[in-house]
Structure 1
Amino acid sequence: MINTIIFDLGAVLIDWNPHYLYRTLFDSEEEMIHFLANIATSDWNEEQDAGRSLEEGTEMLVKRFPDHEANIRAFYGRWNEMLGAAFDDTVAILKKLKESGKYKVYALTNWSAETFPVALERFEFLSWFDGIVVSGTEKMRKPQPEFYQLLLSRYDVKPEEALFIDDNKRNILAAEQLGIRSIHYQSPEQLTTELQQLNIL
C-alpha cells in the first residue's frame, strides 16, 4: 500500500529552461541550440547538480571554450532568468495529496546546492514537503541508486510503499530497479489519470 509520494521538481512542479535566458543572448535559435547542445550541455550542468561548485564548472568550461566566455558565465551569473513559474496544475495535485493526510510527500531533485535557495525563496509550496533531498547538497544525483536510497533511509520509507514521479525516463527506470513504483510524468492530466487508477487521487 502506497503511503509516500516522491516528486521530482524541475519540469514537474517548476519550470526551468535555459532557453529563457539564451534566447535573449543569441541572434538565432540555431546558435542557441548549438551552444546548449555542444558547450553548456546538460551533462556539464548535471556535474554542478552533483556537487561540483558553480565556479569550478564555469572556469573549466571557459578554459575549454574561451571564445564563448561571456555566454558560459551567463549560465550561472544570470541563472535566475532560466527559472520560470510553478506549474500550477501539478502544484494543485501536490496540494491535494498533502491535504488528504494519507501520504508523506518528499522531493528528490537534481539541483545545485548553490542555486536551490533561489527556488526555496520563490516557491512557497516547497515548504509543504515533509523533506527535500537535493543532489548538490548530497554530492550524488539521479539516476545513481544511492541517491534514491538516501531518501528511503533518511525518512524510513519502504520502496514498496512509495510512488516516484519524474519527467525523465532514465530516472524512472532507476527507481523501478529499486522496487519503487513510478509514474513517468508527461502532463498534469496524465498524472491525475494515473493517480486515479492507483486510487491515490
Structure 2
Amino acid sequence: MTTEIRHIVFDIGKVLVHYDPSIPFNRIIPDEAERSWFLANVCTNEWNIEQDRGRTWEEAEALLIAEHPEREEQIRAFRKYWHDMVPHAYDDSVAILEKLIAEGRDVTMLTNFASDTFREAQTRFDFLSKPRGVTVSGDIGLIKPDVAIYEAHVKSFGLDPASTIFIDDSLANVEGARAAGWNAVHFTGAEKLRSDLAAYGIEV
C-alpha cells in the first residue's frame, strides 16, 4: 500500500479488554432462558449504548425501573457489577499497542464507553493511560459509527485522516472510520492485526 500511516487509533472493548455483560448475570439470573430474556428486553445493548452516549446511570436505571419495577435489583446490578464484565485484558493485543508506543509511533484510542466506567477501567488497566490520549464517547455525546466522532477525534489530536489507521472489532465502526476518510481494519485477533498492520508497512 502506498499510504504512509502516521497515526494509529485503537478501539478498546473486545480489542484490548474483554467485555461481556452476561458474565455477572450468569450468577444474578441463573436460569438461562430468563437471563436471555432480561438482556434482550430489559438491559439491552440499545439501552446500554445511551450511557456510552453520555446518559447518566441514574437516568438509565430510573427509565427501566419505571417499566420493570419488579426487576429493580437486577437492573441496578448492571452498573453495580460492571467490573465483572471486563475480567481481563488481551495480552497479545496490549503487547502490540505497547510496542507501537515504545517505537515512538503516534497511538491514540477512540472508544464507545460511559465516562465513569472508562475511568474505572483506566485504574484497573494501566496501559489505557499509555497512548497519547483517548476520545471517550460518553465525554462528548457522540458514538461510533457516527462520522462526527471520528471527526472530533481528528480535531482533538491533530490527525491527518488519510494517514490514520483505525482498529475496531465492529465492522460498522470500521465502515464509519472509512466514511470519515480513515484507513481501518477489522479486529478479530492479534495475529490478523499484525498482518493487517504489516500490509500498511507497520511491522510489530
Per the alignment, residue 8 of structure 1 pairs with 11
Q: State the Cα deviation string for residues 115-149 of structure 1 (Å, max 9, x = none).
A: 11111100111121101111111111111111111
Distance of 1:118 and 1:140 partners within structure 2: 20
Instruction: Name the SS of the counterpart of 1:196 in structure 2.
Output: helix
Per the alignment, residue 91 of structure 2 pairs with 88
Q: Which residue, 178, 198, 201 being the options, matches 1:199?
A: 201
Distance of 1:161 and 1:198 partners within structure 2: 10
Per the alignment, residue 43 of structure 2 pairs with 40
Per the alignment, residue 192 of structure 2 pairs with 190
8 Å CA contact 2:110, 2:136 repeated in 1 = yes
Residue 68 of structure 2 corresponds to residue 65 of structure 1? yes
Per the alignment, residue 141 of structure 1 pairs with 143
Shift, 1:111, TM fit: 0.6
Q: TM-score, normalised by structure 1?
A: 0.96
8 Å CA contact 2:165, 2:183 repeated in 1 = yes
8 Å CA contact 1:54, 1:114 repeated in 2 = no
Q: State the Cα deviation string for residues 76-99 of structure 1 (Å, max 9, x = none).
A: 122112121110000011111111
Residue 122 of structure 2 corresponds to residue 120 of structure 1? yes
Distance of 2:51 and 2:129 partners within structure 1: 24
Structure 2: which amino acid aligns with 1:108? Answer: L
Q: TM-score, normalised by structure 2?
A: 0.95
Q: Which residue, 84, 95, 100 being the options, matches 1:97?
A: 100
Unaligned runs of 5+ residues in structure 1 are: none
4+ runs of 1 displaced by more than 6 Å? none
Q: If each structure's strand is expressed as a fraction of its own residues, which one has the higher value?
A: 1
Shift, 1:27, TM fit: 2.1
CA RMSD of aligned residues (A): 1.0
Per the alignment, residue 175 of structure 1 pairs with 177
Shift, 1:28, TM fit: 2.3
Distance of 1:30 and 1:168 partners within structure 2: 27
Q: State the Cα deviation string for residues 15-47 of structure 1 (Å, max 9, x = none).
A: 121111000011222322221112101111000
